[in-house]
Each structure stands twice: as C-alpha cells, then as structure tokens.
Chain A
C-alpha cells in the first residue's frame, strides 16, 4: 500500500502541476483553443485514483473541481478568472492533502467541506448540471448495484440495424467474476480491465454483441434522469456507451434523430446519420483494439473501482493517446448505446458532454475521435500504460543515480591515473585499450550526468501561478515571460536554486514592477513584464531575471545604508550607484517602506545570494532607475564536477573553486610588494583598492614571515565571495583541474577553511578551500564596510561617535590611536633609506621628501627597520615612527577632556586603557607650518544638540578630520566633497542649520558656493562658516565681507566649534 500511495502521490503531483499550468495558460489566453478535455481528464483521473485509495477528501475536492471543468468543457460556462481561482484553490488544497498523505501515508485532517460546497455552488451558479451529475452518480451507482451480477461476461447485444456484429473481446479474470458474483458493484472496469494482468488476457475472451436496439429501449435507460437502468445482460451495452461516450466531441446529432431512432432504431439510425452503416466497422475497429487499450487503461485506472460507473469512462479517457492522435473519421457514427442517452436528457446531449463516465450519457457527438483506427490502436497496444506523452520512461531512485555518479567519478579518476602512468611508461602496448577506455569512460560519464539533468522549467513551473496570485494581490498587471525553460541542469542544482529563484521573481513583481497607474504615468505599457531566461554559457547556466519596472532607487538605498549604519554618510555619498545596488544583498536590507505580505521584510536577497553561492554560483545585478532591474545568476551545470585552480603552500596543494577566482598576481618587486601589515592584518594595493589578504600558509598552519621581502615571487590570488574581495597569498600556482569534490569527513568538521576533498589526476588527495570561510575570516579581521554582511547581524554601534581606530605603540611606549581613515599606510624603512636634513629625518617617498617624526637620530646608524605610519594631505606626506601596531577596533572618541595638550585630539578607551588620539592636523601644522599656519588655542570642549550641519571640503584629509570632530561634538554632519553636491544636497534638504565650507576648492570655490546658497530660497539666512587653510587677517576680512558668518582656520578646532555655537545661537535668536 505504501508503494501504491507513493506512486499515486508522484503521479498526482505531476498531474496537478499540469492542471495548474494549463489553467493559467487558459486564463491568460481565453480566446485560444484549449484542450479543456485534457484538463478535465487530469482532474478526473486524480479523483478516480483518490477514491480508489480511499482518500475521500481528496476525491471529493477533485470531484467538485471536475464539475466546474466539466461545465467549462461543455461550454456551459466560460473559464472566468473566478473559475480559475476557485479551481486553483482546490488544487492548492489537494496539493496540501497530497503532501500530508505523502508524509504520513494517511490523509491529513483538513476540513474540505466548505471548499467543496463553494466549488459546487460555483458550478451550480451557471447551471444545475453539476448537481444533477452528483445526484446521478448516486442514483447510477444504486441502479448498478441492483443489477444482478453478470452470469457470464458474454453479453449479446445484437445490432438489428444491419450493422455488423461487433465482437468485443474482453479478457476476464477471476477478480472480476468474484466481484460481480458478490453482487457488489457491477464492475465495468473490472470487466474491461481484466486483462490488465496481461497474462489472463485470453482466458476469458468474450464476445459482446452490442445490440443497438437495446440502446434505444426506454426501459434500458431512464428517460428523465440519466440513471442507467439496464437489464441484466446490459453490461456490455453499458460498456459501449461508456466507451463511446468518452469519445471526443465532433459529431452533433439532433435530438430529433434520436427520437426517431427510438421508434425504429435501425432505420432511423441509417437515416439520421449517413454513416450509420459504417458504424459497425468503426466499432469493430475500435473494439478490436479495445482489449489492448482497455487493458492499458485499466492498468492505470484500476484503482478507481470504488466508483465503478465512473471508472469506466475514466478508463476510457485514459485510452486517450492513441485516440487523441487518431484522424477523425469523416462520418462520425452515432453509437449504439449512446444513442438513447441524448434523448433522455436532450439538453445535455446537445452540449458536448463530459468524457467522464460520471455522465453515463455522453452524447453521440462525442463519439468518433476516440475511436481509433486500427493502426493507431495497434500502436496504443504497444505503448506503456502511462500513455504516449510520457514515452518510454522509468522512474529511478535518485540515490541510485547518485551512487552511479560517484562510481563514474571514481572511474574517471582511475582512468586519469592510468593515462598518466601510461604516459610515463611510454609503452605502446596499452595505448589502444587506454584510448578506448578513455572514450568509453567519457561517454559513460556524460551519460550519467545526463540522467541527472532536468529542464530548468521544472524549477519554474510554479512561477506563473505565484506571479498570477501576486499580481492579483498587488493589483498590478504583470506578465511573466519564460525563455529557455528546456535548458537542463543537474537536478541537485535545480533543487537548490528553486527557492532563491522564486524569491527573486516575487521581489521583481512586488518591488520591481510599479503599479499600473505609475506605469501609465511613466509612459510605459500598463502591463509590466518579468522576464526569466536561461541559457548555457561556458560550463554554466546563466539565468537572467529582468523586469521593466522602476529599477532600484539609489537615493532610497543610500538613505537606508546610512540609517542602517552599513556605511557612513560620507562613504555612502562616495559610492557609485552600482556599489550601492549591491547593498540589497545585505542581510535585513529593504527599501520597501511598508512590509507587505509579499516582501519587504528585508529577509531575502542575502539568503538568495548565500544559497546561490553555496552551489558555486554567483548573482549580480544591473539596474537603471525607471527602466528596470536585471539579475544575472550564473550556476554551474552540475555540482559533481568542480573546476578548481590548484595552488600550493610549500609542498602541499589545495584547490580553489574557479568561480570565486578573479585574478592572479605575482609579486615581482622585492621591496615594494604592495602588501602592508596593519596590526596582524595584511592589506594589498590592488588597483585602486586596498583589499584584505590572507596567507595560504597561515590557513595551512605553516609559519609565516613578517618580512616584506618574504612575499617576493609569491602569488596573490584575488578572490571574490559575495561583496568581499580578498587576496590569498600562495607559494605556487599549478594548473586548473576539474575535480569531483567529496564532502570532508565528519571527523574533520572542525577544520574551517575546507569545503571538500578531492583526488587529483595524479592520485593525490587534496583539500578544496572554502571561499566562504576565507571571506568570513577576512571579514572578521577586516570588519570594514566591505563586509556589510558581517556587521549587520550585530547591534549597530552608535556610528556618530565610534570610529575605526588604529591603535599603536609609540616609540616612548605610550599607546596612541588614530582614526584609520587618516592613516595612509604603514611602511617599513631600512636605515639606508633614512636621510637627515636640517635636524629632521626624512625619507624619499612617492618622489617627495617625507619628514618622519619621533625618530631618534641615534637610530640612524642602527641596522634595524623602522615601522612608520604615513599620513598625507594633498601633496604632503608625513611619517611617524612607531614601535608597533597593536589593534584595529571600533572605538568611541571622548572629547570632553579638559586641558588636552597640543597634538592630542581626545581620548578613547581600548582594552581598559585610556589611549590618546593623535591630532594629525597638529602634526601636519608643525611639520608644514608654511602651509597650515600656526595653531591656536587648545580645544575646550564641545556641546551637543541636534543640529544638522553640511560640510563641504575637497580635501579628504579634512573631511575625515573635521567630519568626525563635528560628529563627536554632537552635530549631525553630512559631508560632501564637491560644492555642487552641497548645493544639490541643500536643495533637497534646505533645513541644514549650518553650512561649513572650504574656501579653496576646484571648480567652484567657497565664495561662489556662498553666493549660490544665498540665491536659493531658504538659503538667505542659513549661517555659512568658511573653513580655510589660510588664516591671515586679510583672508578673514575678505571672507566676512563676502557674507560668511564666520571664518575659521582649518586647524582651529575650538574656533570652529565656537563659531558654530555662535552661529546656532544667533539663528535661534532670530527665529
């Protein structure tokens, strides 16, 4: 029974998804020709099977759904959206029941009665046939029960009309007899289905002579109701009517004709349809193959014998394939037994009737197409029970396939080893056999791979439904285009991308496509399109999901980024739109203003990305505001074979998945490797970026060297995982190899950086590096904005006050800290590089002389390297010797400290120790007095208020210096680089309390900016403070004359803060 249920569940699931897609198709193109009959049959079969297995709820639902479909098929009602919704609802519940059944083996306790009632009501709404159907069912069943069991299966039904006698050969078997003898239910299915157990087919071949005259007898069939009131030896007749009733509709027969036929079956039949004479032939043809067909059919529908009268038709409905394809006879004959039926219910007869046996009275017009010509019937005989559409297929246990896959993998590896051996031996003896082995193995591997391939459409088949429901819920008009559904993918991969894909399609519909109104306003077609396309590219499948919706709103994302603290405002400002778009992959990130039932909860895209990357895929996106968004997903065809780059650490080799590989760089320059060590973290100057790097040696537990020259000749493999780009230093690079990755043994689960093991062609076992783990390691070390995913899970620190600080030990042993943004790099200089000029120690750096502070002249002669922190502003470099870097951490800056000495910006606490924050600007001013001018009064303390400040400065150094200073003093500060950005920002948010602007800027200087601001509405009264490196009296006067509210030297923190306070107080007083 378990097997039975499992098979049932599988088959029914398939049928359900077909029903669903057919329905949607019909709904979308209501005018096109559709095979409602097919839909009907599918549902009918489900119903029949359910009843057989005893799944009453399922059966009841399917029955109710079938009623509606029957009406649609009979054109009693159109397939309205409501009808589709209602049926889909039923399909959902059936699916639910089915899943429950699959899990537990028994039908879950779900109350389906209300839905059934609704379905029936729906069917009734457009006529009463459905209900009467229902009643008829009962009645029919009752009547049939009343039949005496057939004494034998010989049924004589003579065709009086001069039609040829029909020989219906039915196999018989004992079961049929038994059941019949029990008087239980006259089992037509059994009669016909007897040779389902093929062996018995000949045992009791019985001739059934159908008597046309009988069929016309009123006594045989009730006239008002459709109850099948046959006399004892009628089963054959009934059978025929059922058989014939199932035939698709083409011929329409006038009621009148049948009424006439009533009087004189023979004559009238001849007259009513010119082809009546041929009916016998056709029937003979049909029936000669009936044995075969029905055996197929009954093999399939045998389960339905709970519901005997219905079963018959369902059985025959199953005979479809052959018949469906059969050319339609030119002159469709009315059928013997079916003839009376239209008379009994003329109205129904006039319409196309259900092929289902439920209506035992399929009208004559349904007759002919199903009556397959002999040739077709022969084919049908050979066809497997499932019908032609499933072809010669076998269900194979997936585990078996997996196992074969593994074996073939090993075979391939063995072959590789053998080939390698043979090459070394250069012994011609093996060559031919080896070549053959090579070829066969290759083909075998390909073949096995193919068995696991499934069209990607399998992962898509739920999408039309989802999108349809979504568009209803959201009130949008959305069309789903699917291209390349036949692109095949490994089934394992397919399973894994199913959910992410569904999620993304939902997102596109919800966030991507605008409302109809918005679309119209934007001049776009009202119906939005979500397009899903799949194609092969290299050894990957590339899936693109695009919509013609609104695109990603960079401004909204930027705002969210800052709100969520994923990046600081100034960082966010500096990002390109493309960079910003990547943030939608950050955990919990959503720009949706409201959470809908569909999406907007902010869980999702990060999971999507993780899932895709887990299977070695990648996802990227392009978006244009107003034009739409396009996601590109690349996934490997199969997980079984993984292309890796073999890299070496010492003598050991490791595999790195190629998908994560960006570039390989060799370090050629002995002295300037481009690698810097900052507090145990390594950074590499990669193009214009500073990326974190890790050493493979470290991963592999080998000793690493701190010497810069240690990296000479080594390779840096640039990898990318998610948003993190990082480098991996390794000793050597071998070739790329396709490997079959196996999971790491459970006992080795503790090792972090490997995702699998594999055997190389030369027989060596290697570990495969896990880019995910490497990226996580980098992320935790680096903890920078490059890894938003690492930070977002943690509670957000108060970003207004904390900074990423580099903590270092000075030469005198004290610890100091600096915001890391102010540090240019950390260098090592040998004594030979140090030079002395006018009491100062300098080095040549970037083509300039860089003064180095805190270095003892005595050290000049010692053979040791000096670690130097390098700062720079514009063209000036400044170095400061330090003992060592201690830490990089997010620290809070304390500025409320009295009497700080010059050179100290404030303090911070790290590991329980108070650490001075170095004032770089002070150091700059002491080293380059001519440029920065003298420093003024020490800082005295800040104030806190919720004041919005806009800071404009083209120098990164000062943005990073003044910005944090203002923020730590409690001002909400927005920092921009260009005056035009400032103006744009001001236009958007004219409620800035104070604007602080640099004077010397390219393109537009501070004076010009001031003029522009003053010209804007709302810009007349906003205080603007000038910030300049030039602090002479004339400069100040000029600034104040130009209309600046204050003019402050860049390095005069206190002056700036005081000026700010004054400006704020003044505005408040004015207001």
Chain B
C-alpha cells in the first residue's frame, strides 16, 4: 500500500493546524477536518425518501433548508439502526447540503492533541474510499473522512444503480 502521509490530506480541508471534529459509530471514532463541515445537529425528524439508495434514509429540515441525510452506518456497513437519536454532521458539496448521520458527535480536538498517520491498507474497502488519513488521539484512533468523497461515492453508487437496474 502506498504511503499516505500528511501531504495526501486535502490541503483545502486540512491545514497544518486544523482541528478535527470526532463522531462515532458504536465504538469506532471518525473525524472530519473542522473546516470541511458546517454544522452539527441532533436529528429530531427525518422525512424518508422512498426510492432513494439505501444509504440515504431521507431528508431533514435544517432551519428552512432541506438537507439530504446520508446514513454513515449503512455506508460503512455497520449494523443498521433507526435514524432516531442520531446526530448529524452537515457539509456542503456543490451547493447542496448533506447531513452525515452518526451515533454520537464527539468533540473538537485541537491539532496539537493528535497525530496524523497514513491510512493502513487493512482498513475496510468502503471506508478506504472516503478516508484521507488516521488521527491518533492519545490512545484512540479516529479515521479522518473527507465529506466530499462520501458524497461522491453516493453519486457513483447512484449512477450505477440507475445505469443497470432502472425499472
């Protein structure tokens, strides 16, 4: 596996002194560079989007703006649960807003409290697509995700299903 040093982290989202926001699914920690996201919310209501791909459970009204939810549990293949009680991280991609659903939102971790490491080759393939690096925070490890890649993955999944299984 090729090394994935710090330089591989998208510079737009990840400055040398950029903090990260952690979120978790079950026990696993994930993190987003703080500048890559807009907001964190507690999901109180969600309108299902029938016919959408499975990772998209529906849409959320975020202060008058309709935001597409992406269930990270489903995306990452961890056992599914209801969206209820989920927390969301809001990010925008090409002028549209998305909400990544996690079990919990952690905290903002300043740059000096974590080390950046390359992504190990052993990481699950669906996670490999969307992560940029690993943050070592003391004893814990957080997988740093790129929100753009998450959305892009969803788009490519969408076009695949449309291409083959229409109707």
Identify the A interface with B (CB < 8 A). 410, 413-414, 652, 699-701, 742, 745-754, 757-759, 763-767
Contact = CB atoms under 8 A, between A and B. Distances in A.
A410 B66 CA distance: 11
Contact of A767 (B47, B56, B154): B47
Nearest to B161: A750
Contacts of B158: 747, 749-750
Nearest to A760: B61
A752 B48 contact: no
Given A748-B56, A748-B68, A757-B66, 13 more contacts: A701-B48, A742-B66, A745-B59, A746-B96, A747-B68, A747-B98, A747-B151, A751-B52, A754-B49, A754-B51, A764-B47, A765-B59, A766-B47
B50 A700 contact: yes
Contacts of A413: 64
Contacts of B47: 652, 757, 764-767
A626 to B, nearest CB: 47
Given A414-B64, A742-B66, A747 B56 contact: yes
Contacts of A410: 64-65
Contact of A700 (B48, B64, B68, B155): B48
A752 B68 contact: no
30 contacts: A410-B64, A413-B64, A652-B47, A701-B50, A742-B66, A745-B59, A745-B68, A746-B96, A747-B154, A747-B158, A748-B49, A748-B52, A748-B59, A748-B68, A750-B53, A751-B51, A751-B52, A753-B50, A754-B51, A757-B66, A758-B66, A759-B61, A759-B66, A764-B47, A765-B45, A765-B47, A765-B59, A765-B60, A765-B66, A767-B50
Contacts of A652: 47-48
Which of A652, A742, A767 is packed against the most chain B CB atoms within 10 Å?
A: A767
Nearest to B59: A765
B61 A753 contact: no
A701 B54 CA distance: 12
B117 to A, nearest CB: 31
A750 B162 contact: yes
B112 interface: no
Nearest to A652: B48
B94 interface: yes
Interface string B71-107: 0000000000000000000000010101000000000
A504 to B, nearest CB: 34
A739 to B, nearest CB: 11
A623 B89 CA distance: 59
A750 to B, nearest CB: 5
B96 A745 contact: yes
Contacts of B59: 745, 748, 757, 765, 767
B90 to A, nearest CB: 13
Nearest to A413: B64
Contacts of B48: 652, 700-701
Interface string B20-55: 000000000000000000000000010111111100
Interface residues of B, number: 25
Contacts of A750: 51-53, 158, 161-162
Please report whether the interface of chain A is mostly helix, strand, loop or mixed according to DSSP: mixed
Contacts of A758: 66
A699 B52 CA distance: 12
A936 B147 CA distance: 78
A411 to B, nearest CB: 8
Interface string B135-167: 000000000000000010011001001100000
Contacts of B53: 750
A676 to B, nearest CB: 24
Contacts of A752: 51
Nearest to B155: A747
B164 to A, nearest CB: 12
Nearest to A701: B50
A53 to B, nearest CB: 36
Contacts of A757: 47, 59, 66
A749 B157 CA distance: 12
Which of B59, B64, B98, B158 is packed against the most chain A CB atoms within 10 Å?
A: B64
Contacts of B151: 747
A364 B57 CA distance: 82
A700 B158 CA distance: 18
Closest 9 CB pairs of A and B: A751-B51, A410-B64, A700-B50, A701-B50, A765-B61, A765-B47, A745-B68, A757-B66, A765-B59
Contacts of B56: 747-748
Contacts of B66: 742, 745, 757-759, 765
B11 to A, nearest CB: 26
Contacts of A745: 59, 66, 68, 96
Contacts of A765: 45, 47, 59-61, 66
A839 B162 CA distance: 56
Contacts of A763: 45, 61
Nearest to B65: A410
Nearest to B46: A765
Nearest to B97: A745
A767 B151 CA distance: 21
A650 to B, nearest CB: 10
A758 B59 CA distance: 10
A749 B48 CA distance: 15
A608 B64 CA distance: 35
B51 A753 contact: yes
A749 B51 CA distance: 10
A410 B60 CA distance: 15
A751 B61 contact: no
Nearest to A650: B48
Given A747-B151, A748-B56, A767 B64 contact: no
A701 B98 CA distance: 23
A983 B105 CA distance: 83
Which of A414, A652, A745 is packed against the most chain B CB atoms within 10 Å?
A: A745
Nearest to A649: B50
A752 B53 CA distance: 12
A414 B161 CA distance: 37
A753 B64 CA distance: 23
Nearest to A699: B50
A747 B96 contact: yes
Contacts of A751: 49-52
B160 to A, nearest CB: 10
A1065 B155 CA distance: 69
A638 B40 CA distance: 35
B149 to A, nearest CB: 14
A984 to B, nearest CB: 46
A700 B53 CA distance: 13
B102 to A, nearest CB: 18
Contacts of B94: 746
Which of A753, A757, A764 is packed against the most chain B CB atoms within 10 Å?
A: A757
Nearest to A752: B51
A522 B158 CA distance: 62
B154 to A, nearest CB: 6
A933 B23 CA distance: 83
B166 to A, nearest CB: 9
A715 to B, nearest CB: 19
Nearest to B55: A747
Nearest to A702: B50
Contacts of B65: 410
B82 to A, nearest CB: 13
A752 B51 CA distance: 7
Nearest to B62: A765
B49 to A, nearest CB: 6
